[in-house]
Structure 1
Amino acid sequence: MACMKLGSKNDAFQRKGQAWFCTTGLPSDITVEVGEMSFHLHKFPLLSRSAVLEKLIAEAEEGENGTVVTLDDLPGGSKTFELVAKFCYGVKLELTAANVVFLRCAAEHLEMTEDYGEGNLIHQTETFLNQVALKSWKDSLRALQSCDDIVSFADQLQITKRCVESLAVKANTDPNLFGWPVIERGGPMQSPGGSVLWNGISTGAIPKNSSSDWWYDDASTLSFHLYKRLISAMDARGMRAEIVSGSIAYYAKRYLPGLNRRQGSNDAGSRVGPSCLTSPPSEEEQKLLVEEIEQLLPVQKGLVSAKFLFGLLRTAMILRADPNCISHLEKRVGMQLDQANLEDLLIPNFSHSMETLYNVDCVERILEHFLAMDQAAGDASPCSIDDGQLMGSPSITPITMVAKLIDGYLAEVAPDINLKLPKFQALAAAVPEFARPLDDGLYRAIDIYLKSHPWLSESEREQLCRLMDCQKLSLEACTHAAQNERLPLRIIVQVLFFEQLQLRNSIAGCFLVSENLDGSRQLRGNMGGSNEGGWATAVRENQVLKVGMDSMRMRVSELEKECSTMRQEIENLGRVKGSSAWGNVSKKFGLGLKLKSQMCSAQEESVSNQSNGVSGKAEKVKAKRGKLKKNV
């Protein structure tokens, strides 16, 4: 820390308890009381330097203990007046960034101008402040920190503003442009051979590269009202919003311990702040800080990580912050919901009036904010659907990522027995249909909910299952659903139908690929391609086709068995005519049984034709392979 020495005399002050004495050999003729401390001094050195002290001494009455003067509201108190007294006596003292603000304010308060001696305290402190302290990042920071205790006096003299402006300029400038060690906070200099200067002398070292967040830790040591002024000054000077937001996030992590519980080592947006404090703020102070941080953060999307925003929202709920603050944080989170992960969404329910383990209502509000923003931005691009088939597959867009995230969240909260069916349905239905390329995640969540809520009626189960589209289930999901006893019978029949439809399309696609391969192979042969290369390619294609056909045959055989079993069950039900069981079944599924029988017959015929087609195609491929082999 830079300093400036004042005075030349040896220290002639001695402290005894709560009193200071000047040991010059002359008896004291005045007592100056500052707070609880008494200074037994001499009149002439004081009145010759200060207009205020001259006036007080003239007005003071002589008492039994001599003249007594009381200084009320002196900036810096007794510690600062000790330095002022030494300056008046010409005793050696050091002017530093830590005491210059106190001395500058005290000198102004005591009117220690040039009219009372050349090089008086106002001039000395002002010179040191402008020419030394404000030229250095470290000294400017230390001077600003000292303003915290006498901010009203410092503001009157524009000291706080000058310190803030000095820091804002230095933080907004690449420190590598000035050479090491302009920052005065790093380790030893490295890499000999550079041209860095220190006090005009080449050190033979080059500076370490500094990132844009080098000042985060230093700025976080300021009290919040000074930190806020520093951030405002940086913003006014055009500092990039992402750098400012990173500093705010760093500051929040330092003074809100709850934010560090789930922060990863690679959290985007800022470095991880200190994990502990010597004296953590109280809950009330943390609550006020959360509300201030929310207002200070820029509103643009993506300036801080979604994880940080979720942590801030969770902390605000725990501390029971202002409802407007929580609402604004939910909107901020909604803007970046596509950047969140499942762990972020698992916000515990901190309200005693709500029975669910997780705050599902909060997630639903966040989703609504995201959908409103996505709709306003025009990012939604639903896929066209024709004849029960998806004609297009949406790319990975923010809304598809959010749909997958919400499906995962539904599966996570589904085991909660206190989660009511309407709330589960409302959150699942809030995601647009076009946002889900596949409904496998939604099916999984519905299955978990049905397993955890076995008391649901048949109508409630059907109502819940209508949330998913059986046409958008993968073959694996269809296979699982066809054997799932928790699903209503009507849903299982739909799943079986669409599963066969997908299988038929897959077989047709396989044959189409095979024909294209044969055509391209003939084209390569006509163009004079190598026979040896064509034979090797044919062998590989034949192996791939054989594996695919074997798999198709196994699946066709399984479907034939399922259709035969279903037909046998329908025939067994038909033999129970006149009984009450048949009456109930025919009443509920009379039309359905006829359709099922017809569907099974059609499916068996389709499967048989497809099997014959597969065999025919295989023979055709073998004939072509033989012809190619003969040519070779």
Structure 2
Amino acid sequence: MLFFFVQLPMVSRSGYLNSLIFNRRNNGEADAGMSVPIIQLDSLPGGCQTFELVVKFCYGLSVNLTGSNIAPLYCAAHFLEMGEDLKQGNLISRTEAFLSFLMLSSWKDMFRILKNCEAISAWAEELKILERCSESIAWKACMDPQAISCGDDEAQCLNVLTNNFNESKINTKDGAVGSHTEAESNWWFEDVSRLRIDHFIKVINAVKNRGMRSDVIGSCIIKWTEKWLLRIKKNIHDHLNEEPRVTIESLVKVLPTEKDSVCCNFLLHLLKVGMVMNINPELLMVLEKRVALLLESCSAGDLMVKNHHGDKDSVYDANLIIRVVEAYVSCVSSNSISRISVVASVVDEYLALVSMDSNLSVKSFQLLAEALPEAARSCHDRLYRAMDAYLKSHPILTEEERESVCRAMDYHKLSQEARKHAMRNDRLPSNFMVRFILLDHLNMARSMVDDTSRFQRTKTQAFITVSKSPAKNLIRTQKELEIMKQEVKRLKLQLNDLQLCRLELQKKVKRGAR
């Protein structure tokens, strides 16, 4: 855009234009075919709209300063060198005064200023507009005494300040002093969540420096991230776009270090997006380790992270949890006081929740069930229930797949009730049922050696008391073992027949599906 103006009002207030015009004149430069010199300002902060305001100011016309134009105008004044050395009350001092006034008095204008700094980031950074706005927002956010960690004296001062401010508000309707309900600690989240990532990071660092509680900061980061993910979820797999990757890396870096500042579920979502975005491996490892160490204090519901790729994927991302559990095992392998049994319970509950997903693969289920060491579970009842639920929800699995699902289960770590259920459970692989029955009979045989033991004979359903006489005890034991061996052989034959029937049924089901 072209501006035609008389030189004197402009050069008298702008050191930049003054030196530019007079240097060209002294050097004898002239614009070919033009009676007036042409000045091109390509890098003026704010562009044509801002320069128009500068021209108005130089000509003595009224300029309406607002939160939307003050930042570009302030930067343009510095670019054009419109300082007090040229004229009293020049544009730099005028804009500086108004900018300081807004920072002290107006909450909403802080965000208008930051929004308009997006196009002039370099100048705004150099002139410390971003820093000043961030400090102002942080100061106002921390005015809520419940949201800041401070000493008793400071807290008392903040309470007095807040109470005095509230008592000055009069209800004009009934003339009574208005009662004030103390603001929630997250009252400022909504406005901050609209900021661009670099401006948001500056605000978060500012509130950190002012002593804001880590859980409040964590909640603010979660709020911002949720809104950001809603905006970019359609382009989340666009690897050519660097902005999402940089954003995730910035969020990971700015997270409060305190353990309970952010919840496990949020960190899992952040980790998932970070993996999709291929963020820095070191940051990914830091995030992964942080999530892993939270497994001891989270619930199965905290691990539920949905997949969004397609119909063939499982509803929840079990592979993400496998990765985190494996990271946990590597972290606590040398830690004797780890609560790995608690994590095992959480994993078993998670397996039970996701087992009904028809798209959850056998491999994913098996890897998660076997991710923890054997010593992590003293009882396998929960694991058995999860396996049984998975087998029930996936009725057309092959015998080999069923064995893979049940591989982590240990008969000796099942309760008596679970063992009885397992021996009658036709969903289990045939060889598992045979093994369970044999082990059960073996336990019964061992119990006969005990002088005081009693057992119920399977064949006759009659109770036999073991004699205390060694000779009689040996004879009876041998007889009972012979009977049990015959029963085991009979059961093996029956189970083989059942297995053949099952295979035939599976073939028929597959043929029918075709």
3-state SS of 2:39 partner: strand
Identity, % of aligned positions: 29
Residue 253 (structure 1) aligns with = 226
- Give matches, 1:149-188, under 5 Å: 149-174=119-144, 177=159, 178-179=161-162
Residues 452/337 of structure 1: CA separation in 2 closer, same or farther (3 Å cut): farther
Residue 238 (structure 1) aligns with = 211
3-state SS of 1:401 partner: helix
Runs of 5+ in structure 1 lacking a partner?
Answer: 1-36, 183-192, 258-275, 383-396, 503-507, 509-555, 568-589, 601-632
Residue from 173, 189, 201 that aligns with 1:228: 201
Residues 360/167 of structure 1: CA separation in 2 closer, same or farther (3 Å cut): closer
Please give the per-residue CA displacement for 1:561-596, whole angstroms capped at 9, x wherever unaligned.
8543799xxxxxxxxxxxxxxxxxxxxxx9996373
Are positions 1:363 and 2:302 aligned together? no
Residues 499/365 of structure 1: CA separation in 2 closer, same or farther (3 Å cut): farther
- Rounded to whole Å, the distance in 1 between the matches of 2:273 and 2:480 is 55
- Rounded to whole Å, the distance in 2 between the matches of 1:94 and 1:316 is 45
Residue 400 (structure 2) aligns with = 456
Please give the per-residue CA displacement for 1:79-130, whole angstroms capped at 9, x wherever unaligned.
1111111111211122222222222221122222223322111111111222
TM-score by length of 1: 0.58
- Give matches, 1:28-177, under 5 Å: 37-58=1-22, 59=24, 61=30, 64-174=34-144, 177=159
- Give matches, 1:137-536, under 5 Å: 137-174=107-144, 177=159, 178-179=161-162, 194-196=167-169, 204-257=177-230, 283=238, 284=241, 285-338=243-296, 339-341=298-300, 344-345=303-304, 348=307, 362-374=320-332, 378-380=336-338, 398-405=342-349, 407-408=351-352, 411-412=355-356, 419-420=362-363, 427-433=368-374, 435-436=376-377, 438-447=379-388, 448-449=390-391, 453-456=397-400, 461=403, 464=406, 467-475=409-417, 477-485=418-426, 486=430, 487-495=432-440
RMSD: 4.6
3-state SS of 2:187 partner: coil
Asked if the contact 2:83/2:92 (under 8 Å) is kept, the reply is yes
- Rounded to whole Å, the distance in 1 between the matches of 2:405 and 2:481 is 22
How far is the alpha carbon of 1:75 from its aligned partner?
1.3
Residue 8 (structure 1) aligns with = none
Please give the per-residue CA displacement for 1:244-294, whole angstroms capped at 9, x wherever unaligned.
22222111111112xxxxxxxxxxxxxxxxxx6899888423333223322
TM-score by length of 2: 0.70
The amino acid across from 2:460 in the alignment is S
The amino acid across from 2:434 in the alignment is L
Larger displacement relative to structure 2 (92-101 or 126-135): 126-135
Residue 571 (structure 1) aligns with = none
The amino acid across from 2:227 in the alignment is R
How far is the alpha carbon of 1:39 from its aligned partner?
1.6
- Rounded to whole Å, the distance in 1 between the matches of 2:338 and 2:234 is 49
Asked if the contact 2:366/2:405 (under 8 Å) is kept, the reply is no
Asked if the contact 1:410/1:424 (under 8 Å) is kept, the reply is no
- Rounded to whole Å, the distance in 1 between the matches of 2:5 and 2:404 is 95
Asked if the contact 1:410/1:428 (under 8 Å) is kept, the reply is no
Richer in strand (by share): 1
- Rounded to whole Å, the distance in 1 between the matches of 2:198 and 2:300 is 34
Please give the per-residue CA displacement for 1:204-235, whole angstroms capped at 9, x wherever unaligned.
43444212222212112221112112222222
Residues 463/93 of structure 1: CA separation in 2 closer, same or farther (3 Å cut): closer
3-state SS of 1:46 partner: helix
Residues 440/496 of structure 1: CA separation in 2 closer, same or farther (3 Å cut): farther
Asked if the contact 1:47/1:53 (under 8 Å) is kept, the reply is yes
- Rounded to whole Å, the distance in 2 between the matches of 1:173 and 1:408 is 46
The amino acid across from 1:43 in the alignment is Q
- Rounded to whole Å, the distance in 1 between the matches of 2:169 and 2:397 is 72
- Rounded to whole Å, the distance in 2 between the matches of 1:235 and 1:324 is 24
Please give the per-residue CA displacement for 1:422-455, whole angstroms capped at 9, x wherever unaligned.
x765543443455435322222344445965443
Residue 596 (structure 1) aligns with = 484
- Rounded to whole Å, the distance in 2 between the matches of 1:150 and 1:56 is 23
Please give the per-residue CA displacement for 1:374-395, whole angstroms capped at 9, x wherever unaligned.
556644479xxxxxxxxxxxxx
Larger displacement relative to structure 2 (320-329 or 84-93): 320-329
Residues 592/462 of structure 1: CA separation in 2 closer, same or farther (3 Å cut): farther
Runs of 5+ in structure 2 lacking a partner?
Answer: 146-157, 448-452, 464-477, 489-514
- Rounded to whole Å, the distance in 2 between the matches of 1:108 and 1:136 is 24
Asked if the contact 2:445/2:481 (under 8 Å) is kept, the reply is no
Aligned length: 436
Residue 5 (structure 1) aligns with = none
Asked if the contact 1:406/1:428 (under 8 Å) is kept, the reply is no
Residue 148 (structure 2) aligns with = none
- Rounded to whole Å, the distance in 1 between the matches of 2:7 and 2:405 is 95
- Give matches, 1:528-567, under 5 Å: 562-564=458-460
- Find the structure with the greater CA-based Rg: 1
- Rounded to whole Å, the distance in 2 between the matches of 1:381 and 1:591 is 48
Larger displacement relative to structure 2 (72-81 or 364-373): 364-373
How far is the alpha carbon of 1:491 from its aligned partner?
1.0
Asked if the contact 1:335/1:370 (under 8 Å) is kept, the reply is yes
How far is the alpha carbon of 1:42 from its aligned partner?
2.0
How far is the alpha carbon of 1:405 from its aligned partner?
2.9
The amino acid across from 2:122 in the alignment is S
